[in-house]
Amino acid sequence: MAKLTRSPLDSAEPVSPAPPPARPLRSIAVAVDGSVPARRALNVAIDLARLSSATLAVVGVVPAPRVYSDSGGAVMQVLAENRREFERILAQAGETARAAGVTHVTSDAREGAIAEELLAFLEERRPDLLVMGARGLSTTGRLLLGSVSDGVVHHARCSVLIVRPPAELPPVAPPNLDRTTTRRKH
């Protein structure tokens, strides 16, 4: 006769304590730059803010060019144009969030090294979550240039959600609907 054994699940003793309940999101930040990955991140951040009734802070960083000489003020003119473009992007992102039902939206335009400015923003504002898009640099590009999202993920004190593009499905061959070519004669 076979001997019955008890499963560890049958034990009256708890295997491990229950995890503490998740802290609700009260404040969400999203990094935008006008790119497709940033628009995806904005959409995710809007959904999360709406579902959790959290505030949404939209932040954009105008990359500061590395210039050693500015004869004629051309660099300052380009920088001013970039700043105006980022302010337009931030305003549009805020309007999109408000139209989607997020009630408390702020924006913050910064200038400088992107990862460093985002980290400074996170230290100042202390959101519960930062949402940002993935750029999808190649392995070589990441090794040579680094990645803003890599730098932020490794140094941020809050949780960071990287929104990746949807995976592309391989093409599917259409079915062979021509039955005359598949018939065999007996």
- At residue 4, does pLDDT exceed 60? no
- At residue 143, does pLDDT exceed 50? no
Residue with token string 């335009």: 109
Report whether 158 contacts 30 (CB < 8 A). Answer: no
If one counts every other C-beta atom within 10 angstroms of the C-beta of residue 65, the result is: 10
Architecture category of domain 33-65+74-163 in CATH = 3-Layer(aba) Sandwich (3.40)
pLDDT at 153: 87
Grade residue 175 by pLDDT with cuts at 50, 70 and 90.
Answer: low
Helices (H), the chain: 36-52, 74-99, 114-125, 139-145, 148-155
* DSSP 8-state symbol, 73: G
pTM of the model: 0.72
* Residues 14-53: tens digit of each pLDDT: 566 766 666 789 999 999 998 888 999 999 999 999 999 9
Cα 54 to chain centroid, rounded: 17
* Residues 58-105: tens digit of each pLDDT: 999 988 776 666 666 777 788 888 889 989 999 999 999 999 999 999
